[in-house]
Structure 1
Amino acid sequence: MMHEEVEKEACFILGLLAVKPEYQARIASCGALRGLVRLLKKHKLTTMTRSQPGSGGAARRAADAITNLAHENSEIKNMVREQDGIPPLVSLLEAHDLKVQRAAAGALRTLAFKNEDNKNQIVECGALPVLIQMLRSEDVGVHYEAVGVIGNLVHSSQNIKRKVLEDGALQPVVNLLHSPCADSQREAALLLGQFATTDADTKARIVQRGAVPPLITMLSHTDTSLREMAAFALGRLAQNADNQAGIVQCGGLVPLLTLLESKHYNLQHNAAFALYGLADNEDNIPDIVKEGVLQRLLDCVEKLQVQASKDCVQKTITRMEQKFGGRVLSHVVFMLRSGDRVVQQRAAMALARLAPEGELRAVFVEKRGLDLLLDALVDVRVEPRMRKDASAALLELVRKISATDGAESCVPAQPPKTVYLGSQYVNNATLADITFVVEGRTFHAHRIALLASSD
């Protein structure tokens, strides 16, 4: 017992020293890895229903030490594999002691990160089925480490990603979106985003398994990294037409737009990419208009500092304009008759910017779209931001009309230019202000009537 305690404390001290990058190589070069691997192999898996006090202590500390030694050190990651350290770590995933499970998974997670040889050996040792079972663990630490290992295994590895899905990882990963652990939620969202790049069917299956509502809820979480990963996953899922409509109908539009307007560049970029995907579905365009998204996108084009995000938002607006015809146009024009004045005005502003030039007369004269824009400008009850947006939309409408050869077709038809003062004033000198003499005959007339009746 005393010997085991000494081994455990020695591993603990090595782990603490290995936190310093400058000590990692020195510890490994002194032969410490060989001793750590020996302790991993020494641990015996128990079949008891209850863990023994202190069981697995040395093995757990050895796994923790390997985690710290290999952290961001590709050379030591290779050394662990070459010294046969991966098979015993995979075996420890099935240890009864939850602390040992967590430590083994943590070490494998580190070893798998950006190391193809290690990833392949971990899979060849049969780790995937056990890791997938660990995803269902009620222990937060166990399922957090398990989802982290799987995430590192599938990163940049299409073959391992397919195998993980074939082995049944999808549903337990989706379930982790409801974990009480925010870190587990974040890792699950990241992994689902990686799964979504497999193929179109996988994108659809992720949504069918219930991933969208919790991901949308996560968009409003106080944890920035959690919001970032949720937006990342939704952006990948939004590359599927049915998913695009589903995300909007589940309420994803406004929280994504809020992230786009945040001060965090990663949030902005992930939200911009997701919104670009949502704009690809014609069924979403009326909802985008109704929520006032277009005006906020236009603001973001001016305010975003990262060029990639700014370009993505501009492409989203262009994509919306390309779809502004047919049933989309009809639906938005129908919104001009909405019982909600704000919706009417948002529809008019969107039409001013996105409607085809050939439809401008029908929309803004016959359908009274111009009246809605003007009302938004002069109505004191309208919010200042809305008035500003209406002014910009009206300016854009004028620009489009001015650039059109048939601009005069958009001008409302004028009433006939006639003025009739009454029969008693026809050829009557009373109030007449002009006289014509024709072949010796005098005719009395009124300048205003002549002016109104002349071209």
Structure 2
Amino acid sequence: MGREEEEAIAAEEEEEEEEEARKEKSEEAIRNQRKQSLILEISSKLIHGDLEAKIEAARDIRKLVRKSTSSCYSSSSSSSSSSSPSSSLSSSSGKTRSKLGASGVIQPLVLMLVSPNPDARDASLLALLNLAVRDERNKVKIVAAGAVPPLVDLLRFENGSLRELATAAILTLSAAAPNKPTIAASGAAPLLVQILSSGSVQGKVDAVTALHNLSTCKENSFPIIDAKAVSPLINLLKECKKKYSKFAEKATALLEILSNSEEGRVAISDTDGGILALVETVEDGSLVSTEHAVGALLSLCQSCRDKYRELILKEGAIPGLLRLTVEGTAEARERARTLLDLLRDTPEEKGLASSVLEKIVYDIAKRVDGADKAAETAKRILQDMVQRSMEHSMSRIQHRAASCTPSNISSS
């Protein structure tokens, strides 16, 4: 084949590619035009239609968002472009959500939440959920339209399906920072705590995540949850086989918050297996969940060492805490060391036998650094513990000396 023929074939192929691109662009424009017409039709039904038309329109919103997702995935999976399927999927469905949110459908959907018709409530809830997912602007619009009070009312429903859809909606909306103060002040939290005990598995997961979202609201001047949440949270943590999961991270974060109050600390120690669940999380959790779990245990021991020390030791906390001084985050390592000092430093009582302690530290060092470096690592850990113990003892001596006034001395 000559050079001229090769150039002619290349030019023909380039022309075909350009024609295909023009065709695809034209088809995309037609699809977008049809979608925009459908959005206008849905908006008109929701604003001006009767109840049946509104219900149909709400269902159409869910279908349209899902169709945008699936069609985008289909086209992206067959495309040879460098963009990933997930990014194209997010872009297409995101544009659909954005256009629907801007078309005026949110306000009538929110009004449907208070309808006595269960089909209307169900359809509007599902539509709002689909509009809110991965769309910060729509989340804020939905709360601004007054969705929170009717959603809180739905959390009180005995109808499990509606109640758990409302829980999912509260979870989704609470992910947006501007919404957190409104939801936190709405009275949703106590109802979410009830779902921790009585909801389905998915309902409980959504409730924990929603409560965790609300707990990060900096504008809160009062606790989001009280000690009533401790028992169901402990039970969920005990049932959680993967202590390193995101769910365990959120549950332990809430338990650490609760451990900052006397009622919360009492509830943790009084709940069957409460302290053990935290100890097991220290042993098997992720970096995040171990930090929260050791924080909760430390809060207990610092509040009343005489009361909680033996309870924590009895659950076998020492090995996990020692390992955490090596493997944890900077904050977790510091918390673990402080807690170990509180558990070990007992002048009036016998602490752990030195040989037992050395063996525990050596076993941990061996798992972390291998047999070759285990002795060196164990020696370093023990030296650090001795140094901290000495510093702690000196601090106590100085504190006692400072508190000993001349009148105390003369009267002794």
- The TM-score, its normalising length taken from structure 1, stands at 0.58
Is 1:186 equivalent to 2:205 in the alignment?
A: yes
1:33: which partner in 2? 39
Larger Rg belongs to: 1
**Post-superposition offset of 1:273:** 1.8
How far apart in 1 are the matches of 2:28 and 2:212?
33
Distance 2:112 2:264 in 1: 39
What amino acid is the match of 2:57? A
Pick one of 325, 330, 334 that aligns with 1:311: 330
Shift of 1:103: 3.3
1:171 counterpart = 2:190 = yes
> Is 1:293 aligned to 2:291, yes or no?
no
Cα shift at 1:373:
4.7
The 5 A counterparts of 1:12-51 are 28-30=32-34, 31=36, 32-41=38-47, 44-45=50-51
Q: Aligned to 2:226, what secondary structure does the other structure show?
A: helix
* Aligned residues with identical type, % of pairs: 21
> What is the CA–CA distance in structure 2 between the aligned matches of 1:278 and 1:94, rounded to whole Å?
44
Structure 1 SS opposite 2:292: helix
CA contact (8 A) 2:318 2:340 kept: no
Structure 1 pair 181–191 and aligned structure 2 pair: CA distance change class (3 A): same
Counterpart code for 1:59: A
2:104 is the counterpart of 1:84: yes
Match of 1:140 among 156, 160, 176: 160
Q: Equivalent residue for 1:233? A: 254
| Whole-angstrom distance in 2 between the partners of 1:138 and 1:25 | 47
Please report how far the alpha carbon of residue 146 of structure 1 lies from its aligned counterpart in structure 2 after TM superposition: 1.2
Mapped pair 1:261 → 2:283: yes
Query: RMSD in angstroms over aligned alpha carbons?
Result: 4.2
Residue of structure 1 in register with 2:216 after alignment: 197
Asked if the contact 1:67/1:106 (under 8 Å) is kept, the reply is: no
CA distance in 2, matches of 1:94, 1:111: 18
Q: Does 1:130 align with 2:130?
A: no
CA contact (8 A) 1:193 1:234 kept: no
Q: Deviations over 1:279-332 (max 9, x none)?
A: 134126513233221322213455x5xxxx44343122133256x3xxxxxxxx
Task: Name the counterpart of 2:10.
Answer: none
SS in structure 1 at match of 2:225: helix
Larger helix proportion, structure 1 or 2?
2
Per-residue deviation, 1:387: 11
SS class of match (1:167): coil
Asked if 1 retains the 8 angstrom alpha-carbon contact of 2:252 and 2:289, the reply is yes
1:272 pairs with 272, 291, 301, which one?
291
SS at match of 1:299: helix
Q: Which residue of 2 aligns with 1:217?
A: 235
The answer to whether the 8 A contact 2:237-2:277 is kept is yes
Superposed, 1:356-375 pairs within 5 Å as 369=351, 372-373=353-354
Are the counterparts in 1 of residues 140 and 176 from structure 2 also a CA contact under 8 Å?
A: no
State the SS of the aligned residue for 2:44. helix
Q: CA separation in 2, counterparts of 1:180 and 1:117?
A: 29
Does the CA contact (< 8 Å) of 1:144 and 1:184 recur in 2?
Answer: yes
Q: Separation in 2 of the partners of 1:178 and 1:24? A: 49
Aligned to 1:345: none
Q: CA deviation at 1:60?
A: 4.6
> Which amino acid is 2:231 matched to?
P
- Residues 282 and 320 of structure 2 are in contact (CA less than 8 Å); yes or no, is this contact kept in structure 1? no
In 1: Cα distance, 2:248 partner to 2:177 partner: 25
Q: Secondary structure at the match of 1:143?
A: helix
Question: Structure 1 residue 385: deviation in Å?
Answer: 6.7
In structure 2, the CA distance between the partners of 1:399 and 1:238, relative to structure 1 (3 Å rule), is closer
Count residues with an aligned counterpart: 318
Q: Provide the rounded CA distance (Å) in 2 between the counterparts of 1:129 and 1:373.
A: 60
Q: Which residue of 2 aligns with 1:247?
A: 268
Paired residue type of 2:62? D
Q: 1:91: Cα distance to partner?
A: 2.2
Which residue of structure 2 aligns with residue 106 of structure 1?
Answer: 126
TM-score when normalising by structure 2: 0.63
CA distance in 2, matches of 1:238, 1:168: 22
Distance 2:136 2:384 in 1: 59
Return closer, same or farther for 1:270/1:398 CA change in 2, 3 Å cut-off. closer
Query: Letter of the aligned partner of 1:400 in structure 2?
Result: V
Contact 1:280 1:320 in 2 (8 A): no
Cα offset, 1:104, TM superposition: 1.9
Question: 1:396, CA displacement in angstroms?
Answer: 3.2
Q: Deviations over 1:348-403 (max 9, x none)?
A: xx52xxx3xxx8xx56xxx5558x556x69xxxxxx979969x979x9389839x9
2:194 maps to a residue whose letter is: N
Q: Displacement of 1:165 after TM fit?
A: 3.3
Quote the residue 1:339 is aligned against: none
